[in-house]
Chains A and B, each alone.
Chain A
Amino acid sequence: MKRLTALFLAVVMVFCLAACSSSNSGSSAGKDADKAPAFKVGCILVGDETEGYTKAHIDGIEAAKKALNLSDDQIVYRYFVEESSACYDTAVELINSNKCNLILSNSYGHQDFMAQAAKEFPDVTFIAMTGDFAAISGNANMKNAFTEVYESRYVSGVVAGMKIKELVDAGKLTDKNYTADGKVKVGYVGAFNYAEVVSGYTAFYLGLTSVYPDAAMTVDYTSSWFSVDKEAAMAEQFIADGCVIIGQHADSTGAPSACQKAWENGTVVYSVGYNVDMLNVAPDAALTSAANNWAVYYTYAFKAAMNGETIKTDWAEGYDQDAVHITPLGKSVAPGTQEKVDEVINGLKNGSVKVFDVSTFTLDPSVQWCACEVDASGHLTSCKEDMSYFDYSTGAPQLVYQGETYEVIENGAFAESKFRSAPYFNLRIDGITELG
């Protein structure tokens, strides 16, 4: 009995090896897809609806589905797909077994594995959301997309600036809330120290200082996209140091909850969130949140794919297409905030307001800024951004995909997300202190 079972199992394993060879010739299953041209989307998601970042994507996909009258079986979801070969496996499975002809992934780390699949299935379109090398990878069927969320961060910064101005005018702040040189303290809970976050907090700070210039912001990193405990602990630290506003680029409600708790204990502190409305966890302390409208992109991409049109390789839109927004203002915002917000959004739409206007910020002229030139007063005059994709693991960057180099200072502003959808503003401007 024992031997029989064992023998049977050994045979199964050997059969599997034999099946490997036979399926090699049969892996053209993906090509059979042109027999069934029905439009079908496979969604590879890093989390599920219980996690804010992925929920925002699901909401966007569902909205696009509704707008385009797609049926339930035209959208296939795969949740909690790791940023490993699991992503590649899932893509192959979605194409072979589910006959999907558009595959999208929502996390940056999926990108390499999407590229691997894109090479093998040239007839299928692959969208690596937030990715950065589709244009230079040599796979015409690979796409990237990102919203210009720095615009909504700028607007959320304006809301914070209005609040600081109100507090200062009313004399509500104490010595603890000012730095030694008299600037109001602001804290920012970041996830990681790369361009997406740097671009975001800089935009937030510039929005804030456009209303109240005398502010000093401190940024720290949790090294995690989602950690209620770490984000709350960091916010508490900032609050203890006297920060009046706590901004964030991390996905949990940890920081707003900490602000609400401090607010209830009589501390003057307000929160600006990210991705989702924070008013349910911080009804008094939350001012607003910067957020994305992924539905705008998904509707565009699905529609283009259905009509057989080519999807843009690098898609990045902001207020102009309503691809970004701020969530409804909380009851604690300063009077006149809504009017100011509308005015700034109008400015962003008609081009009279530029987020990274080089006249509004300075860099330390004594630092050798790689690829960028700074004049004696600290203003940027030129920046040559190389869009190549590198492998940094050995220490020295090794070229993986060659990209072009662009002058990104255009008409007096740093042109973020213009030459590639993924953010590339990676400079440390004056007024912001980075910890960690």
Chain B
Amino acid sequence: MGESVKYAVKEPLVHITRRTDIRSWKAWLIRVASVVLALIVNALFIYSVTGLDPVKVYTVMIQGTFQSTYNFLTSMRDVALLLCIAIALAPAFKMRFWNIGAEGQVLMGGLATALVMIYLGNAMPPWLLMVTMFAASIAAGALWAVIPAIFKAKWKTNETLFTLMMNYIAINIVDCLTNIWRGSKSSMGQINANTQAGWFPRLLGYRFTINIIIVLVLTVVMYIYLKYTKDGYEIAVIGESENTARYAGINVKRAIVRTLLISGAICGLAGCITVAGKNQTISVNTAGGYGFTAIIVAWLAKFNTFYMMLIAFILIVLEKGAIQIASAYTLLNDYAADIITGVILFFILGSEFFINYRVVFRARRDREEEQA
């Protein structure tokens, strides 16, 4: 009987099953293999399209970050920014709240900072100005995130679309205000260029040292928050199953609003350190797409803030490398560089599939069954 069933049903060639017990070394082997494969595919692309030596191109790419101390430091500054936004997104995504609105929340935080710098820059002592800038940016970011959270908690609106749309509102508000602030010039330039009011003071020679310190502290705090606090546990439970959470007596609505307040607040802070510690100006490009890239960082690191450091670092090395090769080779322009980084990212993301799932081919399964 069993025999006939086996032959009657046409089995698919490939069968995919979920696996949960992969060993750590095996998972890392898959990750490393994926990067190696990506480099090979890119080498084929580079050589077939341009005829350049791929190894040389990769060397130039690495130089984007490691060519000089200054390159390395500015890369670290950008790692800190990307990491900061990923830290902000971690609790929301761990709860399976798809906050696609980091870009807008960062912009609103940056805008609040710019507003304080412009209108209160000369009206208060520097320490109070700093405190006001931080408070304003945190409030603005939190506000931008909590609006979709309240709608989600109360009326079950789709948070993905809602947070995404909030980005465009933020972009247009910034566009409008910078257009006013530039006056009769064609761009607004640095904020408070004459007084430097609200610019982060130089620490160890750089303004962005403060950025890095803030993000290092946040990395530790968020790690503890997610792993060891009651709130963090609630987030994990809701993320696994909302019904289980409700059954366990967790106030899901409250948790959504609370988590998004935190998420938005940290995004707002990221906007503040971008404007005051890095750019000293604001534009629609202030968030620079990091609001979206940070999703990859948080997701790939499975919300472990220390792994996020590594992922953010890799992404920044790729970004700086892309700029470097676009500058070094006339044959590889900005778009070609984007293809190269895109392929590497695709393979890294793809490797997670092979870590989480086992792919079994029909022939092999038949053999295994026979042996059993």
Contact = CB atoms under 8 A, between A and B. Distances in A.
A394 B119 contact: yes
Contacts of A390: 183
A377 interface: no
Given A84-B279, A85-B279, A112-B281, A13 B185 contact: no
Interface stretch (B95-103, B150-158, B187-195, B238-246): B187-195
Contacts of A97: 67-68, 70-71
Contacts of A392: 181-185, 188
Given A83-B283, A84-B279, A398-B194, A23 B183 contact: no
Interface string B286-330: 101000000000000000101101100100000000010011000
A5 B189 CA distance: 41
A109 B306 contact: no
A50 interface: yes
B69 interface: yes
B189 A109 contact: yes
A376 interface: no
B179 interface: yes
Interface string B158-189: 00000000000000000000010111111111
A15 B339 CA distance: 32
Contacts of A36: none
Contact of B184 (A49, A50, A195): A195
A196 B185 CA distance: 10
B70 A93 contact: yes
B189 A20 contact: no
A263 to B, nearest CB: 32
Contacts of B204: 17, 20-21, 24
Interface string B43-76: 0000000000000000000000001111111101
Given A20-B204, A85-B278, A9 B310 contact: yes
A393 interface: yes
A373 interface: no
A17 B191 contact: no
B33 to A, nearest CB: 18
A6 interface: yes
A16 B187 CA distance: 34
Contact of B187 (A23, A77, A108, A399): A108
Given A79-B327, A79-B333, A23 B186 contact: no
Interface residues of A, number: 57
B105 interface: no
B327 A393 contact: no
B76 A13 contact: yes
Interface residues of B, number: 54
Contacts of A13: 76, 212, 216, 309
Interface string A1-31: 1100110011011001101110110110100
A419 to B, nearest CB: 17
A33 to B, nearest CB: 14
Nearest to A394: B118
A400 B193 contact: yes
A76 interface: yes
Contacts of B283: 82-84
A50 B206 CA distance: 35
A321 interface: no
A16 B281 contact: no
Nearest to B205: A24
A92 B70 contact: yes
A406 interface: no
Contacts of B307: 2, 5-6
Contacts of B280: 85
B24 interface: yes
Given A21-B205, A391-B194, A398-B194, A49 B333 contact: yes
B137 interface: no
A226 interface: no
B184 A89 contact: no
Contact of B333 (A12, A19, A26, A48): A48
Nearest to B177: A393
B209 interface: yes
A300 interface: no
B310 A5 contact: yes
Interface string A185-205: 000000010111000000000
B231 interface: no
Interface of A: 1-2, 5-6, 9-10, 12-13, 16-17, 19-21, 23-24, 26-27, 29, 48-50, 76-80, 82-85, 89, 92-93, 96-97, 108-109, 111-113, 116, 132, 192, 194-196, 223, 390-394, 397-400, 426
Given A48-B326, A108-B186, 10 more contacts: A10-B216, A13-B309, A19-B72, A23-B205, A49-B333, A84-B285, A96-B70, A109-B187, A112-B193, A113-B190
11 contacts: A10-B306, A10-B309, A13-B216, A20-B206, A82-B283, A84-B286, A97-B70, A194-B186, A392-B182, A392-B185, A394-B118
